[in-house]
Amino acid sequence: MGARGVAVVTGASSGIGAATAQRLAKAGFDVVVGARRIDRLREMAAGCGARALALDVTDEGSVASFVAQVPECRVLVNNAGGALGMDAFADADIDQWRWMYEANVLGTVRMTRALLPALEATGDGVVVVVGSIAGFEPYEGGAGYNAAKSAERAARQVLRYELLGRPVRVCEVDPGMVETEFSLVRFAGDTARAAQVYAGMTPLSAEDVAECIEFVVTRPAHVNIDEMVIMSRDQASARRVHRSTDGGQ
Ligand SMILES: NC(=O)c1ccc[n+]([C@@H]2O[C@H](COP(=O)([O-])OP(=O)(O)OC[C@H]3O[C@@H](n4cnc5c(N)ncnc54)[C@H](OP(=O)(O)O)[C@@H]3O)[C@@H](O)[C@H]2O)c1
């Protein structure tokens, strides 16, 4: 048993979740990871000694069977999620909006609700929500994702209020642009369009965000990091991004 207890990381088959699982394993947690692409998840988990379990946070049954295999949990990192598309409001694709709400908002609600008794039973549980600057800074083309991330943020804040006086911390980490598979997923596998998002600037890496999540979950029990906003030096807001004209870094 890792000295720090069990940490569950959702959406750990790539990006921020994978980097977080690796860091938390190194920091002495017993890490349990979940995602849909089980082969990739297993491969990542094997590299850091984590336990890989299939998980689709949009599916009640999948969440129930995941949680049934995790009787103890001290830290829950709700990271699974992402964006689909960048259509204008007028062209909103309701299925994409629905998925974003399901994965980012309801996924976090399902996982947190199911693991809350175990988190509280440790006497020092920590819930982390991986939000986004998109949750408090809407931008053109972002409505569906903005709506989902701000709803996730509102729910997280309410949970913090409702757990006041009980031994569970509720924290949110809000990154700006991070170079992961996020844009590839958002643009349905269009690699050129995804690469354009980070052209001429230095974005955050998944590792940069994972380091912050590790910091959040390793503070003393009385310290609750309510919100941590992290952007690269080249980004000052959702739409203010410095790009070098020569395309260099
Ligand atoms: N990259 C950015 O610029 C950025 C900025 C701010 C916030 N974020 C947030 O950071 C989180 C992680 O994103 P990322 O940047 O690391 O992107 P990513 O590389 O695409 O990773 C997303 C992860 O979520 C998992 N996932 C997606 N749907 C899932 C579901 N229904 N059930 C379980 N797992 C699911 C994916 O695994 P499977 O496909 O294998 O299920 C994958 O492991 C997301 O919540 C995202 O909104 C990202």
| pLDDT mean over 16-44 | 98
pLDDT at 246: 64
Atom of ligand 1 nearest to the CA of 57: 32
Is 80 exceeded by the pLDDT of residue 2? Answer: no
Q: Is 130 in the pocket of ligand 1 (CB under 6 A)?
A: yes
In this structure, are residues 149 and 104 in contact, taking their beta carbons and an 8 Å threshold? yes
Q: Given the DSSP bridges, would you call strands 6-10 and 204-205 parallel, antiparallel or unpaired?
A: unpaired
Tallying the residues shown for the chain, one arrives at 249
In the reported structure, the alpha carbon of residue 26 is separated from the centroid of ligand 1 by a whole-number distance in angstroms of: 21
In this structure, are residues 43 and 19 in contact, taking their beta carbons and an 8 Å threshold? no
Round the average pLDDT of the chain to a whole number and report it: 97
Atom 11 in ligand 1: which residue has the minimum CA distance? 79
pLDDT at 190: 98
In the reported structure, the alpha carbon of residue 191 is separated from the centroid of ligand 1 by a whole-number distance in angstroms of: 17
Atom of ligand 1 nearest to the CA of 18: 43
| pLDDT mean over 198-213 | 98
Q: Is 132 in the pocket of ligand 1 (CB under 6 A)?
A: yes
pLDDT at 245: 77
Which residues fall within 8 angstroms of residue 102, CB to CB, at 6 or more apart?
A: 57, 58
pLDDT at 184: 98
Query: How would residue 3 be classed by pLDDT, with cut points 50, 70 and 90?
Result: confident
Residue-by-residue DSSP string for 178-241: EESSHHHHHTTT-HHHHHHHTTTS--EEHHHHHHHHHHHHTS-TT----EEEE--TTBSSSS-B
In the reported structure, the alpha carbon of residue 16 is separated from the centroid of ligand 1 by a whole-number distance in angstroms of: 7
Which residues fall within 8 angstroms of residue 220, CB to CB, at 6 or more apart?
A: none
Query: How would residue 249 be classed by pLDDT, with cut points 50, 70 and 90?
Result: very low
What is the longest distance spanned by two Cα atoms in the chain? Answer: 55
Residue type, 3: A
User: What tokens does 137 get?
Assistant: 């800074």
Cβ burial of 111 (10 Å; 0-12, 13-18, 19+) is buried
Q: At what angle do helices 143-162 and 107-121 cross, to 10 degrees?
A: 20
Distance separating alpha carbons of residues 239 and 3, to the nearest angstrom: 42
pLDDT tens digits for range 91-113? 999 999 999 999 999 999 999 99
Whole-Å CA distances, 157 to 129, 227, 229: 10, 10, 15
pLDDT tens digits for range 32-79? 999 999 999 999 999 999 999 999 999 999 999 999 999 999 999 999
Does the predicted TM-score (pTM) go above 0.95? yes
pLDDT at 1: 63
